[in-house]
Every structure is written in C-alpha cells, then in structure tokens.
Structure 1
Amino acid sequence: MKLHLNNTFNKELPADKVIENTRRQVLDACFSYVTPKKTANPSLIHVSEEMLVELGLTKDDAKTNKFLSIFTGNEVLENTHPYAMCYGGHQFGNWAGQLGDGRAINLFEVAHSNKQWAVQLKGAGETPYSRTADGLAVLRSSIREYLCSEAMHHLGVPTTRALSLSLSGDEVLRDVLYNGNRAYEKGAIVSRTAPSFIRFGSFEILSARQNHTALQQLTDYTINHFYPEITSTGKQKYLDFLTKVRDNTIEMIVHWQRVGFVHGVMNTDNMSVLGLTIDYGPYGWLEGFDFGWTPNTTDAQHKRYRFGNQSYIGLWNLFKLANALYPLIEEAEPLQHILDGYNSLFKEQYETMMKSKLGLIQNNDTDSELIGRLEETLHLIETDMTIFFRNLSNITKEDSISIAIKKITEAFYNPLELKDEIKKHWETWLTQYIDRLQQETQTNEQRKQHMDGVNPKYVLRNYMAQLAIDDANKGDYNLIEEFYQLLKQPYSEQPQHHKWFAKRPEWARNKVGCSMLSCSS
C-alpha cells in the first residue's frame, strides 16, 4: 500500500508544546499530536471504491491487514504524526470557548492526481479536546456519516467524503436521548477525507485568545493551499478570503435547500471555510416540506437550525468569522460590506435554484411570486418534498388541472386532505405554473430531463438509514451496500430500487433515529 504523503498542516502551523494526551486548554497552537487508540478486534464493514482511487489506492490495498490497521487507528503509518486540531466555536448562539477535535484524529495528507486530501479517523479515541467524553463513536452514527457524506457528493452538494467504515470490536456506552438510560453500543470508526477540515472556529479560538501571529499564519496557510486564486496582498488578501468563504457558504446552503437537507447543528465549529458540508451528526432529510423542521432534539425548543433558517445562520456564522479576522484588517467597514452582500447573493442563487427545480429557463418577472406561492402551498398539506419535485417534471404544458393534480398526488401523505380551500390553493398554483410553462421554449421532454437532473429521485431518508443501522447491529450489512450503490446515482430512475422512492412509512413518523436525532454518537 503506497500513499503519496504531502503533509502541510502539521508542518507549517504551530504545534502544541505539551506532548501528553491530557484534556486541557491548548494555548498558542493549531493542533496537538496524538496517537489513535488501539481497538480490540477491528473489522472492515465497507469501503468507498471511489475514495480509494482518489487517494491512489486499489481494491487489493483495502483487503490487506495494513489497510485495516491504519484506518482503524491500530497502526500509525511510517513517517506520519497524527494530530487533533484546535478550534473553538459558537454553539447554539453562545461562545463555547475551546472545542477542538474531541474524537477526530488526522492521520496524514495525501497528494494524488493534482488533489490534496486530509485523511482522519472519527471515533479513534480521546484527544486533549475530548473534555469529559471518550473520543469514541458508535455504529449508528458512523453508518449515518459514512453513507450521507458519499450520498451528498453524488447529489452534487459540496461535502467531506468517507473512505471506510469499520467496527472497532469495542463496546461504547451512550445515552441516546440524554434521558439517563445509558446502554452499550457497538463501537465504530469512520475514515473521512476532505481537502481540509479547517473550520470557522479554527480562526475564532486564535482571535479570542488574541494570538494574532498564529491567526495570520493559519489564514495565510488556508489561502495559500486552498484559495490560490487570491493574489492580492495586505489587508485586501484577508478581505478577499472572507468574500470567498461567504460565496462558498452560500453555494453550499443553496444546495442543502435544493435537496431538502437539514444539517441540524450549524455551530461555527461545524462550518468549513471551504464551504463543505462537514460533521454529519443529527442531520435529517425533509420528508414533508416544512421550513420549521429540525432533526436535532437539542434544537427542538428554539429550532435555531430549522430548514427555513439555514441561510440566516450561514450569515450569522460569517459574522463570527469576520469578527475573528478583524485583527488582520482592523477596519470594520470593508468587512461589513462583504457581509451586507450576503442576502442579495443568497436570494439570487436561491431563486435560480428554485427555477431550475421548476424547470424554468426563461426569465419572467412573476417567477419570485410563483416560487413564494408554491412554498406557502406546500405547507397546507403534508407533502413529501422529494416525490413532489420529482413528479412535477411529469406535468406538461397541455395538462388540465385535474391531470396535473393526479401526477403529484403521490407526494401527499393524506390525499383525502386535498379538499375545499386547500384544493383551491393547489389548483390556483398549478394553473399559474402551467400558464408559466407556456412561455418556455423547451419541449416537455427537454424540461423533464432538466428537472430530473436537479430533483433527485433518491435521498438517504431518515428511515432508510435507520433500517441499515438496525440490520448492521445484527451483523447484516447488505442494506449499507444497497444504499451506497443506490445513492451513487440519485438522479437515475433505477427501477429495480423504486421501492425506496416512497414516503416515510407511518411507523417511522415518531421513531427515534427517523424523526429526531440527538448529538449522542
């Protein structure tokens, strides 16, 4: 097994001077060296063949004991020095101080085919940032992260990736609902990858501690390696950096809204400065279209991270990043100017995205109203987001309203509720929509092809992930493989898998793991 190592983060940035792996405040450093915990009896459950190729590895490499040992933390690859990153963060709107990689350990960086990949293990043991936790992860959360990160990639959503999913052979004690009922679960480790795992909180912690030297080092490092297109100097360089992060954050969240993904815990320590979806914890997929839905039990009361609020939280988090970068610029006005551009940019990109979901290419002044009316109408009756938008492409310019309604009825959880005022609202919107289609020059077939390329048929529905978890806990990993293959082609019809193009079953409506999730993993 040969990897082209190209470590940069732990070579170019300041390291923790304390070597002992003890929980503590780590000062004047961007990371701490740490060795993964050896596991009892590791075994490989699944590996991403695509990520093997990205890293320059083969299927045969994945079958070796060395691969298993390295990517479960039982062996440290020669000439590498694993480490955990130091960062802080605002959690649910409050400054939490130092957080850091409490259960993630970066193994090394790999350069292959003109790409740079940081490779880390999640669930490989305690670090100086573990606080009171054990640094481990359980099978259920590891399956969710492994499958979802790869599914998001194939949906076209900027994301971290996953290389492998393994059992540790250890039992891990967890309180799933934080209600005092702790139980042992199977321990697991995900090997995940990204160009970098640097977060908003990586800058916040250095700025909060007034370590401006390290702050500038980290910012320069990030620009040099991940934003080489920034060629400006002085203060303008850091303003251009914030602009790039703003634009990438907008792009990422617009994609989330497009596919109905709710991150669930958009704390600043969970925000990538590369605009990647990172840290798959209590995330969820919209079943019924609902701007007010959040999958996170911790967020159930205030719903800070609900589906309809994700764009605003993106801006709030960028304000915190801007505050962290202020010592490098020392002028508030240019930072504010960048942030002031967020809402108009987001609105423009969101509307463009929604028009693509509706199959509208021509410009029309009424499109904003059409989109707004649709979002209001979708809230009148519980309507499956994925099925609705996928089936909407079957409506033609020539359809009557009654035929159009029949084509989307499958998306309604209770079609009998489609009556009286609710039915009138739907008929009004469909009338406006079909009238609008008359102005399009593309044929029905062309429009359907376009819409089916942006409205997925298959997503990792919450109940699907739970089914895979339930089977895996019994030692059956067939659903993991089935979903992994299914979600590699989310926009294809795949008639052999049509049973997964279905509304959430009623048994899953309020089931733990299907409707609400905790951060316990």
Structure 2
Amino acid sequence: MSTSDLLSLCLFSYVVFLCFPYSGAVYSKSKECKRLDIFDIILRDKCPRTSILQSFKTWRFDRRQVLATTFPLDLILQNYVRQVPKCLFSVVYPIPLKTETSLVSYSEGVLNDILDLSDHVTTTKEFVDFVSGSWVLSSSVPLSHRYGGHQFGYWAGQLGDGRAVMLGEYTNQRGERWELQLKGSGRTPYSRQGDGRAVLRSSVREFLCSEAMFHLGIPTSRAAALVVSDDPVMRDQFYDGHPRVERGAVILRLAHSWFRIGSLEILAKNKEFQFLRQLLDFVIENFFLHINTTGKDKYLELYSRIVSDTAELIAQWQSVGFTHGVCNTDNFSLLSITIDYGPFGFMEDYNPKFVPNSSDDEGRYSYEKQPDVGVFNLEKLGEAIKPVLTQQQQKQLPHILKGYESIYKDKFMKLFRQKLGLYTDKEDDENLLAVFLKIMEDTKSDFTMSFRELGEIDLLGLKTEAIPQNYWSLNTMADHEWFWKWIIIYKKRLELEGTTEKRRQSLMNKTNPRYILRNWMAQEAIEKADRNDFSGVNRLLGVLERPMDLDPEAERAGYSSRPPEWSKSLRVSCSS
C-alpha cells in the first residue's frame, strides 16, 4: 500500500467523533460566552488563604445554607423509603456506622486548597467521626436530593440520593462555595430496596478516580476522605446469586453542585413547573454567571451552554480512554462535571466497543457510544425545560442540539492533536489519527501507553524499522503492516508543523499520562485495604496526583508496564 493510499483510507468508523446519526450547524449562542471553568478558578491564587485551620473543632459550614432556605423541603421528617412529592430535598441525618471506623485515605489537595484544613485534622477523632457520619456539625442542615432519570434509555421515575447525604455548604477563603456530601451513610427516603450503604471496594475506586480525573485536568467532583468500618454489608457483586458480606465504607465527596439532568426531569414529569423554573433560575444565577438572568432567552442560553460543556466533557473522557459505565441522565451533571463513579473503567487495549460495566449486557454505554449517549441525555434535558419555554423557543432546542456534534468534534481533534504533539490544524489530521487508532485496534495495543511512548521515543533516532524493547506498546503496534508507513507520514506532518523534536515530546508528555487508574491497580489497593493495610491506596493516590511524571516507585510497581495476565479476569458492576 502506498503512502497516498494510506492517507486516503476512509476509516471513519474507527474515529469516535464520526459516529453520529445526524449532522448540523453549530448554534451560534453556544460559542458566544467562554465557559466559566470553575476548575481553573480553583487553580488561580486570586484570593490567597490567610490561614489553614489546625483544629477541626473550629471548622464550620456556611451559616447561610442556600439549598435548605431556597428550595421547598420535604414536609415529612421521618426517614423511611417513600415517594416524595413537591420538593427538591428531604432533611435526612446520616446513620452512624456501628463498629469502629478507620481513616483509609484523604486528599491533601482537597483539605488544604478547598476546605482550608491542615493535614493534622486527619489525626483527630472528630474528623473521622465527621467523615463516617457519626458526628454532625451544629451548623449542618443534612439533605438528600430528590431527582429522577432515564436509566439505560427508559424513564425510571423517582431515584434520588439513595445513600448520600449532603452535610452542608462551605465557602472557603477564596470565596468558592462547595457542597459536601457523604456517600454510604445509610438509608434515605430515596433508597428504594437498598440499604443506603457503600462497600470498601467501590468506595476506594471512587475516591481514587475522583482525584485521578482532577489531576488529568478533567472536570469532576472531588473526594476529600474515605473511612472504612467492620459493619457487614451484603452485596451480590455480579448479580449471579452469590452474595457475600463486605465491609461498609463512607466517602466524603464534594462538588460546586450536585444538580443533574434528572433534577429537572422529575419536576417536569410531575408538572411541578414552579419548582422547575426556580431550580433553573438558581443554576443560572449561581453557576452560569455570563447569562443575563433577566433575559427572555436565558433558559435557551443555559441549554446551549450545557450542550457545549457536555460535548467538551465527553471529548475529554475519550481523550484518556475513560468510560463512565452508567451514563444515565441522573448521572449527568448540569455543570458538566464527572459525577457518580461506579462501574467505570479506563480502556487498556484500544477497543472502541470497550464496556467496563459487566451489568451492561447490550453495550449501551461503551466507549464509542458515549458521545451518542450525550446527545440522548441532552435531548431529555431539552424535554425537561420545555414547560418553561414559549412555543417559539421550544422550536430552537433541536437547532441548539445540532451544534453538539461540531463542538464535540472540534474539542476531540484539539485534544488528540495535542496527544500527537501537533500545535496546528491541518486538513489530513483526521486521517492521520484514524489510521493510528486503527493500527492500535488491530494490534490490541494499549491506548494510554501507545500515545505516551510515542511522545517519549526519539523519532530522529529511528534510523531503522526497530523500536527499543522498553517501548512495549509501540512494539506491539510495530507488528502491523501499516505502522512504519504511518511513521513516515507522521514525520512529514511534523515537518509541516515546523516544530522541534524536543517541543513535540514536551507537548506529548504534558498531555499523555504515564499512569491511569487501571482496574488491577485499584484491585491490589482494595485487597490490601480490606486487611487494614492502607498503604496501597495512599501510594496509588500519590502516583495519580502526578500522572504525567515519571515515578520510580510506580515503575517498580509496574504501573506503566504491560498489565498482568490475571487482570483480564477482573470485572466491575453496578453493585457497590
């Protein structure tokens, strides 16, 4: 096959951004306002801390608990499972664990930079009691949120925080407002048939992945701390009739907001239009500051922004091989951040049909289908806001949604150009990427390490068709008949770029992680933690906080090596 033939291949089925059933122009309003990236704000030191609290006893939630005073609360104060009408929240106190709890791990960055706390507080009984839910601050108004959602394509009715309690809202010294939530703290009115608990296995995974995603630069909820107890929690992990007792755990997680598409859906479905409008206004006023709160098209502008931000978020997921596993509308944030980590997975061998969730028999939420699922969920968001729109405004919703494809594709290509070390935009870049992915797929090469090793290798030093043995993933790719022809084309593309080898490598090694949260790495940490050895969790957390940096300890642990054979049998499910 000649070089020209290779470039002309129509390999669109191998590039995820081309898997859309429709095409359309970008709605202009989606690009009128630059996204207010709340995660960039965190990193800016606009309002430096004046101090870090050494004592947890003096730490308090904001006196003005906005959610509890702004929205209608459930009139029934008793905590029992039921249908809850005409409100957004129920007042629910955490149910304390019965056995002694131990602190598994905490995020130093969250404690110091968000909660204004020193590491010292983690040694105190008060902090562990707070995270476990056995001590509720006097300034706390604990709430569980009522929402609905489409699950695997079907309307599921009332869902809600079945095992989560929001303890309160904290405004830190930078002026950032955060909602703190316990997950696994016991039954709530929204628990349905569940017990409201979470097990150590799933809690370790969520704790580590929340922080891993943040340090990969992907919008996400954060995890502050994780505790474990000896409380027995019965789980049938794979729904195969073999339940077993696991250890109960609680994770303290936080986000600027936990509102999701399902928050609006349940209000629209139940014709609670006054509350629907109230929630939309709140979201605009507090999180979309560039939208004119008095404008007649403010809800359309909000929809356009969420369409745009969701498209960009999913492109970011694709760029690191992250597959959420349960992309239901109740798991899609209105702020377009990654929330509700369950049976997620980082793709290892490049396989567009990768499904991390063993419960997803039909592959609805595979890696390649995530962009299409985004469209489905945004359609449901549009249906939810229809009741507050005029008939003329309702006609605009499909036109806004048509912009999703273009926004997604632009972001996807921008990210993957960076992954290839390219600074500029050329017409044939889509084919260049498509062929690279096709080679990777055919040879079952590792998604993460193929890009990383391509950034680490000295292309100028490749005088013969041979890859040094330590580049194990590229060596796998090199067995493909197209690989060396692709390398020639890639070098020519870099020549057009006019960049140096050092500059290419610098961009690629700042873009492509060396370490991701692979299932086998999490499993090793979980098994140690189950024996009260938390060193694996903490070591892994430290590596994931610096995913681009070469770490000798991580190398010795094999975190960038070919995954062990036993890892292929690992499975995750919705059970947690």
TM-score (norm 2): 0.86
Aligned to 2:107: 48
Aligned to 2:508: 451
Aligned to 2:168: 108
C-alpha distance in structure 2 between counterparts of 1:308 and 1:367, whole Å: 20
Deviation at 1:167, TM superposition (A): 1.1
C-alpha distance in structure 1 between counterparts of 2:499 and 2:466, whole Å: 19
Aligned to 2:8: none
Which amino acid counterpart does residue 42 of structure 1 have in structure 2?
A: T
Of the candidates 441, 455, 461, which is equivalent to residue 379 of structure 1? 441
Aligned to 2:573: 518
Is 2:487 the partner of 1:430?
yes
C-alpha distance in structure 1 between counterparts of 2:267 and 2:425, whole Å: 46
Aligned to 1:153: 214
Deviates more, 1:314-323 or 1:494-503: 494-503
Deviation at 1:394, TM superposition (A): 3.2
Deviates more, 1:326-335 or 1:316-325: 326-335
CA contact (8 A) 2:465 2:484 kept: no
Q: Secondary structure at the match of 1:153?
A: helix
Aligned to 2:456: 394
Is 2:547 the partner of 1:473?
no
C-alpha distance in structure 2 between counterparts of 1:296 and 1:408, whole Å: 32
Is 2:502 the partner of 1:441?
no
Aligned to 2:302: 241
Deviation at 1:495, TM superposition (A): 2.8
CA contact (8 A) 2:142 2:167 kept: yes
Deviation at 1:442, TM superposition (A): 1.8
C-alpha distance in structure 1 between counterparts of 2:66 and 2:547, whole Å: 35
C-alpha distance in structure 2 between counterparts of 1:359 and 1:408, whole Å: 21
Which amino acid counterpart does residue 486 of structure 2 have in structure 1?
A: W
Aligned to 2:412: 350
Is 2:517 the partner of 1:497?
no
Aligned to 1:127: 188
Which amino acid counterpart does residue 441 of structure 1 have in structure 2?
A: G
CA contact (8 A) 1:39 1:72 kept: yes
Aligned to 1:464: 521
CA contact (8 A) 2:60 2:139 kept: no
- What 5-or-longer segments of structure 2 have no aligned partner? 1-55
* Deviation string, structure 1 residues 216-264 (Cα, Å, up to 9, x no partner): 1111111111112211534411111111211221221111111111100
Aligned to 1:327: 387
Deviation at 1:430, TM superposition (A): 1.9
Of the candidates 240, 254, 260, which is equivalent to residue 321 of structure 2? 260
Q: Secondary structure at the match of 2:105?
A: strand
Deviates more, 1:158-167 or 1:229-238: 229-238
Is 2:442 the partner of 1:363?
no
* Deviation string, structure 1 residues 401-422 (Cα, Å, up to 9, x no partner): 744644795116x94x965xxx
* Deviation string, structure 1 residues 380-399 (Cα, Å, up to 9, x no partner): 11101111000111345535
Deviation at 1:4, TM superposition (A): 4.5
Is 2:67 the partner of 1:12?
no
Which amino acid counterpart does residue 284 of structure 1 have in structure 2?
A: G
TM-score (norm 1): 0.95
Aligned to 2:153: 93
CA contact (8 A) 2:61 2:168 kept: no
Deviates more, 1:4-13 or 1:207-216: 4-13
Structure 1 residues 121 and 427, CA, compared in 2 at 3 Å: closer, same or farther?
Answer: same
C-alpha distance in structure 2 between counterparts of 1:286 and 1:237, whole Å: 38
Greater RCO (CA < 8 Å, at least 6 residues apart):
2
C-alpha distance in structure 2 between counterparts of 1:479 and 1:503, whole Å: 19
C-alpha distance in structure 2 between counterparts of 1:48 and 1:396, whole Å: 36
C-alpha distance in structure 1 between counterparts of 2:187 and 2:104, whole Å: 23
C-alpha distance in structure 2 between counterparts of 1:338 and 1:408, whole Å: 48
Of the candidates 308, 321, 340, which is equivalent to residue 368 of structure 2? 308
Equivalent residue runs for 1:162-241 within 5 Å: 162-241=223-302
Deviates more, 1:91-100 or 1:35-44: 35-44
Deviation at 1:79, TM superposition (A): 2.7
CA contact (8 A) 1:159 1:277 kept: yes
Alignment RMSD: 1.6
C-alpha distance in structure 1 between counterparts of 2:404 and 2:237, whole Å: 37
Structure 1 residues 408 and 425, CA, compared in 2 at 3 Å: closer, same or farther?
Answer: farther
CA contact (8 A) 1:392 1:407 kept: no
Q: Secondary structure at the match of 1:45?
A: strand
How many residues align? The count is 511
Structure 1 residues 384 and 462, CA, compared in 2 at 3 Å: closer, same or farther?
Answer: same
Q: Secondary structure at the match of 1:453?
A: helix
Aligned to 1:75: 135
C-alpha distance in structure 1 between counterparts of 2:168 and 2:424, whole Å: 48
Is 2:82 the partner of 1:24?
yes
* Deviation string, structure 1 residues 121-166 (Cα, Å, up to 9, x no partner): 0000000000000000000000000111011111111100001100
Q: Secondary structure at the match of 2:348?
A: coil
Structure 1 residues 504 and 345, CA, compared in 2 at 3 Å: closer, same or farther?
Answer: same
Identical counterparts, % of pairs:
39
Of the candidates 474, 479, 482, which is equivalent to residue 539 of structure 2? 482
Structure 1 residues 264 and 37, CA, compared in 2 at 3 Å: closer, same or farther?
Answer: same
Structure 1 residues 26 and 496, CA, compared in 2 at 3 Å: closer, same or farther?
Answer: same
C-alpha distance in structure 1 between counterparts of 2:86 and 2:464, whole Å: 67
Structure 1 residues 459 and 71, CA, compared in 2 at 3 Å: closer, same or farther?
Answer: same
Structure 1 residues 392 and 407, CA, compared in 2 at 3 Å: closer, same or farther?
Answer: farther
Deviation at 1:441, TM superposition (A): 1.8
Deviation at 1:31, TM superposition (A): 0.8
Q: Secondary structure at the match of 2:562?
A: coil
Which amino acid counterpart does residue 76 of structure 2 have in structure 1?
A: V
Which amino acid counterpart does residue 446 of structure 2 have in structure 1?
A: D
CA contact (8 A) 1:3 1:56 kept: no
C-alpha distance in structure 2 between counterparts of 1:72 and 1:51, whole Å: 17
Which amino acid counterpart does residue 131 of structure 1 have in structure 2?
A: R
Structure 1 residues 125 and 4, CA, compared in 2 at 3 Å: closer, same or farther?
Answer: closer
Deviates more, 1:387-396 or 1:473-482: 387-396
CA contact (8 A) 2:238 2:359 kept: no
